[in-house]
Chain A
């Protein structure tokens, strides 16, 4: 599946394993929340490679609390593009929990949602094959300006209210 990360198309080194698939020991893997919470959950962290979890849109980020510091990736599922719950999940992961790993959008994600996703903290996008990859790169243009004070895509969007005050966040004291 094509993966867009930080504006570039890259080779995806991660692989998702459904609950009925056996897990190999040495490669970055994404598992379900159920598997993480199961009897072998703790064991998954001890095989010396990166671990990620896939959260369905109805599953709550609070469930991940015990493992957040040890997870490198959280994949948030959009079963349909109109199901916007993952936007809140991403915003909470970056905001409340300060999660620094990769937050990946998977499922039915539309190119027109890209600016919104970037701004709540998604940094990787699994795009269904056949979708025009060019238009995904162009979608970056749509970010432009943001009125929201809690925007997390500082590098790409101009936070209007801060700009009006002439304050650059990291340099406010100078």
Chain B
């Protein structure tokens, strides 16, 4: 993975020292909360319902064991013993004290981490496929370009006061695990006819109050032209994006209002103005330098099939189930990608205790070249596990309660923090996720239902990505009472779609029954198990569900 050189280290150290000074001025009363606000936001520090919340950037979701241990230390020493992994592949601490924040930032800097640009109207942490570099279906590893974008966007002088926040996602694989079509800029890698890698550039996707699937403005952009082209997009957005209404300030509104053709023309005109020779040359040299850090680890030459592994699969049903759901195909024979679900039955999606973080760090060190990924589904991934080690890994995870075999099943729920933490929330999310998870605790039943993604947001800002869930739940407040709407048919992959509302909302005590009713409609109507929930929905439409659900109510 990427390692800081002297410049990266100095860059973060300077910012940490600067923010320490700002916090001290705030504590001494030299800065008012109003003056302090933009400064703390630049460093990922939010003021939430009950306390400050610090959001730490995990660049494109890649962590080392050493970093994970430091995150555990921070959780233990400065929080209540746990952290929360988010849909942005980051980690949040919900209970830091303001006076401790400089110490936390120093502890992060020690392991080459920071909280810069995890909030504010700037380019946020770049996200990518959690299987980047190891996915069997990958064209090329997107991480060098993610790192290039991370550096380039760090304290960008022109783009740190944008109309609104800005999120870039990159995928190097045709099967999109990074939800690039619902980001401000989505980059999908392709190869051109000469075999050179480049990016399809998708702009104006997003969730929030106005969900939209992004539109392609360039089918193929040579990879080395990425920065000048993204600069052109950012400049058009910075100059023409709306600033009169923060709910209409995201780039998706600009693209929607002027039309994708007009937007594309503005970008191409801006791009055509400059001579990008120097930019291309510097970026190419930088990518080459970064690529060396992402060279594949020292894989052993292993056979594709391991006899002992196959025997364990045959003998132990629980292990076989975990492998079936939580293990994905690796590009190197004899290796596997192991997902660690942070969604135990009745648990809080994405939460991990300090002990769990340390265990994952240890297991990564033992079995996965000391590397861990954070998935936007709020799970963790050990990307490089020899298939023959899966058995030992599973036993260790299982003993710690970290082997829930539910990836992509009903209980693999994405949920925002909701009213339990968030100042914007209008309803609780976590207790709903926990209740659904308990209702569907029976794994055989979950397996029977198959692929069904449930996402829950506690307000219309949609941090829980409910719009792109197969079954989305949106918590609202109606006359002081929580009300939960259900949307169906959303999807975050390369065929991204926004879910459709099935009808009036349900009370908190009704929503789990309603979810079960939706599942029942599917089970009753599907053409066998091979017709997945999403396929079924696309065949029968929202009306079918609407009639079935509300007729029985």
Contacts and interface: CB of A to CB of B under 8 A. Distances in A.
B227 interface: yes
Interface stretch (A34-42, A64-72, A81-89): A81-89
A14 interface: no
B78 to A, nearest CB: 25
Contacts of A163: 7
A160 B151 contact: yes
A148 B121 contact: no
B282 A144 contact: no
Contact of A84 (B7, B160, B279): B160
Given A112-B38, A164-B7, A149 B160 contact: no
Nearest to A90: B158
Contact of B157 (A89, A96, A148): A148
Contacts of B278: 149
Nearest to B273: A96
Contacts, number: 99
B32 to A, nearest CB: 13
Contact of A145 (B10, B157, B158, B162): B10
A158 B14 CA distance: 13
Nearest to A158: B7
B3 to A, nearest CB: 14
Contacts of B238: 84-85, 87-88
A162 B152 contact: no
B155 interface: yes
Contacts of B231: 150
A85 B152 contact: no
Interface residues of B, number: 36
Interface string A71-95: 0000000000111110111011001
B308 interface: no
Nearest to B18: A142
A120 B285 contact: no
A96 B275 CA distance: 9
A149 B282 contact: yes
B274 interface: yes
Name, among B157, B160, B278, B279, the residue most crowded by chain A CB atoms within 10 Å (CB to CB).
B157
16 contacts: A82-B38, A88-B158, A115-B155, A116-B160, A120-B157, A144-B11, A145-B7, A145-B10, A147-B154, A148-B157, A160-B11, A161-B282, A162-B282, A164-B7, A165-B282, A165-B285
